[in-house]
Amino acid sequence: MLLRCTTRLLELLGDPITEERPASPGDWYANVFWVQRRKCLLVTHADTLFSVFAPAVRAAGLRPLHAFVAPLITHQLAAEGFPADALGPLDRGRASIAKTADRQVLGCMNDLAGVCQHAAADAGGLVRLDLAALHYRLHRNITSPRDYVPAIDLVANRPQQTGR
């Protein structure tokens, strides 16, 4: 698992870059942003834009990052009826950390962060936010970089990888 982190998240984690390699469709992108003065995390799969939102996170709880995000991704894939490895192996024990490498994915993540912020405001705050409903919405969001196909459909139609 390769987690490509924004500069803001790398600074929060103490800049734990472990790998430099070209971008790949199987990479995961992670960004931290604020919703109602609380740090929140958004993790997005590069190829499908399948995303997971974690509200009110603490820096200490994000270390090591892969141990925090792997169960979140697994849970959301299971909630949608997919196996844990539907988007590649999610090893809690190890992952590589790198800088972001795809502006298009980052742009989509900024849009999704806006969806999360709006959902929290609409719910009356993060504590009242229905995370299941938000994830349902995130997984069905359409974007022009993916030809207006929802992330959930891209996951469902993704060819099975060999060697998983």
Q: Residues 6 or more apart from 73 whose CB is under 8 A from it? A: 28, 43, 52, 84, 87, 90
What CATH fold (topology level) applies to the domain 2-156?
Nucleotidyltransferase; domain 5 (3.30.420)
Query: Quick one: pLDDT band at residue 162, thresholds 50, 70, 90?
Result: very low
Neighbours of 10 (CB within 10 A): 20
Task: Quick: pLDDT tens for 51-98.
Answer: 999 999 999 999 899 999 999 999 999 999 999 999 998 876 778 899
Instruction: Write down the pLDDT at residue 76.
Output: 98
Where do the domains of the chain lie? 2-156
